[in-house]
Structure 1
Amino acid sequence: MSEDTKDSNGAVLKDGDTVTLIKDLKVKGTSSTLKRGTVVKSIRLTHDPAEVEGKAGNIKGLVLRAEFLKKA
């Protein structure tokens, strides 16, 4: 069985969950920065339990580290 994906508080994340960033994060390949408190809706789990995919604003295909997320 694969490892569960957990947020910064230890809550288990599932496909379709809504999460909030707990830290400002620079987006590689752009000049954008996602601010703390940004909401990412409808996340998708990846093969790596430490990462999730999502979209925030007009930035699609983001891969975010679960350690910087908090389940909403």
Structure 2
Amino acid sequence: MSDIIFKDSNGTVLEDGDSVTLTKDLKVKGTSETLKRGTLVKNIRLTSRPGEVECNTKKVKGLVLKTEFLKKA
């Protein structure tokens, strides 16, 4: 997995355990929750799919987010 480089919306390289903030409001599929812009998400996990990271928020567990909507905190 070390050959895949994950970058946020600004081109900053992301690593396991980083904290990120959302750059836009995101509706979570399958729930009535909307994650607001500026929400801090801690301790992300890189996946085998380029452009996607796994994380947990206070309201939603096991969430997969696209890196194009994230900014490294």
Tell me if both proteins adopt one fold, taking TM over 0.5 as the criterion. yes
Q: What is the CA-CA distance between 1:58 and the residue it aligns to?
A: 2.3
Structure 1: where are the runs of 5+ without partners? none
> What RMSD, in angstroms, separates the aligned Cα atoms of the two structures?
0.9
Q: TM-score, normalised by structure 1?
A: 0.95
Aligned counterparts of 2:59 and 2:36: Cα–Cα separation in 1: 14
Structure 1 CA distance for aligned equivalents of residues 69 and 3 of structure 2:
21
When normalised by structure 2's length, the TM-score is 0.94
Which contiguous aligned blocks of 4+ residues in structure 1 show a shift greater than 2 angstroms?
A: none
Aligned to 1:67, the other structure's residue is in SS state: helix
Unaligned runs of at least 5 residues, structure 2: none
Identity %: 68
Q: How many residues align?
A: 72
State whether residues 38 and 56 of structure 1, in contact with CA within 8 Å, keep that contact through their aligned partners in structure 2.
no
The structure in which a higher percent of residues are strand is: 1
Q: Which residue of 2 aligns with 1:24?
A: 25
Partners of 2:21 and 2:65 in 1: how far apart? 11
